[in-house]
Amino acid sequence: MPNEFDLVVIGAGPGGYVAAIRAAQLGLKVACVDRRTSLGGTCLNVGCIPSKALLSASKKFADASNNLSDYGIEISSVGLNLKKMMAKKDSIVSELTKGIEFLLKKNKVTWVTGKAKIKSPSEVEVISEGAKNVLLKTSKILIATGSESTPLPNLEFDEKRVVTSTGALELSEVPKHLVVVGGGYIGLEMGSIWARLGAKVTVVEFLDRIVPQMDLEIGRKFQRILKMQGIDFKLQTKVTQGEVSSSGVSLNIEPAGGGASSNLKCDVVLVAVGRKPFLEDLGIEKLGINCDKRGFISIDDDFETSVPGIFAIGDCVPGPMLAHKAEEDGIAAVEIMAGQTGHVDYNLVPGVIYTHPEVASIGKTEEELKELGIAYSKGSFPYSANSRAKAVNETEGLVKILADAKTDKVLGVHIISPDAGTIIHECVTAMTYGASAEDIARTCHAHPTLNEAVKEAAMAVDGRTIHI
C-alpha cells in the first residue's frame, strides 16, 4: 500500500531528515513529514544557516569599513545594501533546502507536507490546508519536531519590534538600538551581526555572566572581546515589563535581586532566553507519552518513549539543543530500530558560538571538574604568541586544555579563536579515543597554523610550552 511505512519521521530538520535517510539506507520504507514547505527545519530555514550567512557577510562589511587600512588597502567609502545581503542569505538557504530534497528522493524517502498528528503508535494523520488529510500507517514513529523560542511573559512576539531569532534574521533596516534579552549562543550571534552593521547593541542577562555553561575564564575573556567590539552588557538584570509602539520598544529593567527599576528604550528587542520543545497539536498527551517537568519527551537508552513503537530525538528530548546532536540522535535511533548498535556520547558534543572570534568547547569546564572533585592539570596558550594569528592580525583568544592530574587524559578543551569551531575538532577526535594531553603535544602540527596553539596548550599542561 502506498501509505504504509516501516517508519514515519515527524520533522525534517537536521535530526529528522538525517534519520530518514539513514533508515532508508538500512532498508526501511520511510516517510518524512514536516509542516514547512521547505526542508531542513528551523536550523536551515531560520536558524543555523541563515545566521552564519549573515555573520559572514557582516564580518566582511566590518572589515571593509574598519580593518583593512593596516594592510595597505584603502577604501574611501563602504556602503551597505541590506536588501542584497538578505537576498544572498536567502539564496544560500534555498540552494541547501533543494539539496536535502534531492537527497530524500535519492534515498527513496517519501516527503509529506503538512501538520502531523499521531493518532496511535501505528498511525500518523497529516493535515494540510486546502488538501485532503492523509493517513500514514507505520510500524514505528520517530518524533523530531525540534524547538521554538521561549517568550517572556510580558512581551509578545510580533517579529517586527519584538523578535525571535527568526525575526532578527529578516529585519528590513539596521536598528539604531537593538536590545538582546539573553546572553546565550543565539543572542550573542544575532547581536554581533547587527553591531557590525552599525546598530548599538545592549545585552540584558539575568545571571552574572554570559553563556553560563561556558568555562568561566573563557566566558570572561569572551565578554571583554565583545565589549571591545562595542556590545554593551547589563548583567544580573531582568526585564519586568515592555511597551511596544510604532516608534520602538520601552523596557522596564531592574536588578535581578530586586531594586530600583529603570527604563531602556530601543528600536527592536530580540528575546533569546532559551528554547522549548515544539510539540503543539502532536497528540502526545492523549497517547500518554511521558514528558519531564520542563516539557521534554522522556526516552530510554534506545530513544523510545513511554509508548512502545514511538521514539523521539533532538531538541524535543533532554540534552544539548544543537543541530549536530540531533543528527547523532537520529542516526543512533534508527540504527537501533534496525537491530544495530547506536550510541551518542553526550559528554563529547562540541559547542560553538559563531561570533568573531568564535568560541568552541568540548568536555568539562574547570568549574565542573571542581564540583565533581576531579583533580586536574591545566595548560593555556594565547593567540598573541601564535605566529599565524600574528600574520593575520587575529591575536585575541587562547586555547585552554584540562587534563586528569593522574592519567593526563584530556577532560575538556576551550578555545577562543577565528575558526575555533573547526580547530576544536582535532580535540573532539582526540577525546573520543581517550587521548592524553601528551598525545596531542607529540602530534606534529603544521607551521604556521592556528592549530599550533592546541599543541602548545597541550605542552603547557606539563609546563613545557615553547613560545611563551
Report how far Cα 117 is from the mean position of its chain's Cα atoms: 27
Can you list the alpha helix ranges (DSSP code H) found in 298-411?
Answer: 323-337, 366-372, 387-391
Which strand (E) or helix (H) includes residue 232? strand 232-234
| pLDDT confidence tier of residue 67, bands split at 50, 70 and 90 | confident
Which strand (E) or helix (H) includes residue 398? strand 398-404
Q: Per the structure block, which three cell numbers stand in for 8?
A: 514515519
pLDDT tens readout for residues 421-449: 999 999 999 999 999 999 999 999 999 99
The pLDDT of residue 431 is: 98
The pLDDT of residue 69 is: 87
> Look-up: residue for cell 552593521?
197
* Cα–Cα distance, 310 to 8 (Å, whole number): 10
* Cα–Cα distance, 24 to 8 (Å, whole number): 11
The pLDDT of residue 13 is: 98
Neighbours of 212 (CB within 10 A): 14
| pLDDT confidence tier of residue 154, bands split at 50, 70 and 90 | confident
As a CATH number, domain 162-273 is 3.50.50.60
pLDDT tens readout for residues 221-277: 999 999 999 999 999 999 999 999 998 999 999 999 999 999 999 999 999 999 999
Q: Measured in Å, how far apart are the chain's first and last C-alpha atoms?
A: 69
With b for 16 or more beta-carbon neighbours within 10 A and e for fewer, the 175-209 pattern comes to bebbbbbbbbbbbbbbbbbbbbbebbbbbbbeeeb
Which class is domain 357-461? Answer: alpha beta
Average pLDDT, the chain: 96
The pLDDT of residue 241 is: 93
Q: What proportions of the chain, in percent to the nearest 5, are helix, strand and coil?
A: 35, 25, 40
Q: What is residue 250's DSSP assignment?
A: E
Four-residue CA torsion sign, 319, 323, 90, 76: positive
Give me the DSSP letters along 5-34: EEEEEE--SHHHHHHHHHHHHTT--EEEEE
The pLDDT of residue 1 is: 53
pLDDT for 35 beyond 90:
yes
Percentage, residues of the chain above pLDDT 90:
96
> Look-up: residue for cell 528530548?
317
Neighbours of 445 (CB within 10 A): 17
pLDDT tens readout for residues 406-423: 999 999 999 999 999 999
Pairing outcome for strands 177-181 and 200-204:
parallel
Give me the phi and psi of 81, to 5 degrees please: -105, 90
Residues of the chain with CATH 3.30.390.30: 357-461
| pLDDT confidence tier of residue 294, bands split at 50, 70 and 90 | very high
Does the structural domain 4-149+276-346 have CATH classification 3.50.50.60?
yes
In the predicted model, what is the mean pLDDT of residues 164-190? 97
Neighbours of 410 (CB within 10 A): 25
* Cα–Cα distance, 108 to 85 (Å, whole number): 35
Give me the phi and psi of 414, to 5 degrees please: -135, 130
pLDDT tens readout for residues 347-369: 999 999 999 999 999 999 999 99
Catalytic residues: 447
Distances (CA, A) of 67 to 157, 350, 392, 442: 36, 30, 11, 36
pLDDT tens readout for residues 300-326: 999 999 999 999 999 999 999 999 999
What pTM does this model have? 0.95
Which residue, among 350, 63, 357, 352, has the nearest Cα to 221 in the 3D structure? 357
Residues of the chain with CATH 3.50.50.60: 4-149+276-346, 162-273
